[in-house]
Amino acid sequence: MNYRHSFHAGNSADVVKHSLLIALVRALQLKPGALTLIDTHSGCGLYDLDGDQAQRTGEAAGGVLRTLADSNPLLNDYRAAVQAVNVGSEPHLYPGSPRILAQLLRLQDLLILNEKHPEDARVLRGAMRDTLAAVHERDAYELWLAMLPTRTGRGVVVVDPPYEQTDERDRITATLAAAYRKWAHGVTVIWYPLKDRATHWRWREQLSKLGIPKFMSVEHWLYDRDQPGIYNGAGLFIVNPPYAFIQALPPLLEALRAALAPEGHRGEITADWLVV
């Protein structure tokens, strides 16, 4: 699957991913201790919704534009994050995870970004020039392990690959196993696309065998039944989600489902634990 993000910026997967990422970091920041935020597949950091690639797919219409028009106050933090990189009421730019995370930083927090693709890394440095983020240009899985344990006592690793390689899930599984051995108390967030339930459930079973006791899965299915051969939704695996995040999750998920459900479909968004 090719998921070059400039074609998909601001789609429903971004809305869910970034809404939950904001809620997760905010929950961790209820404690004053410093956080290290690490984004292993950072992309370009900022995306032009009026550009040719975004316009070619038009996916922002079913994602960020629909969410900005929604009135549910539980989505206010997400809407504010998008509006922070735009002037006026109409969004022309979409903030990727690097810009979202940069907005959340406190003085004591650190932000480490990584993008292996040379051209995207160059654009990322430009997009982050007004922040204190450190930008690396390394293999994502090598950097993931090299940065652990984090310099601060607590941290979050965000893993958001394009799933262009057939062994992407295997690399994530192997690296997560090694990372957990080095940093068992850390928070890890892994984004994934949903194309068919059978493939996804096989991966879930593989991950459940890692023996990680606090391992959550959030799944957002757009349609009431699988649409063969197309993007059906996306989800997040979250290792060690904080208690405050877990408590606030049910109403936030319902707000996201209601805002993003395609016409004629109710959609489904659920959170459960991988069985160890």
Q: Which two tokens stand for residue 10?
A: 């601001």
> Which residue of the set 77, 160, 167, 272 is catalytic?
160
Buried b (16+ CB within 10 A) or exposed e, 199-211: ebeeebeebeebe
For residue 236, the cross-strand partners are 191, 218
Q: To 5 degrees, how large is the angle CA 206–CA 208–CA 214? A: 150
Q: Which two tokens stand for residue 116?
A: 């292996």
- CB distance 210 to 176 below 8 Å: yes
- CB distance 239 to 173 below 8 Å: no
Distance of alpha carbon 193 from alpha carbon 234, whole angstroms: 4
Read off the amino acid at residue 192. Answer: Y
Q: Does residue 160 have an active-site annotation?
A: yes
Q: Which are the catalytic amino acids? A: 160
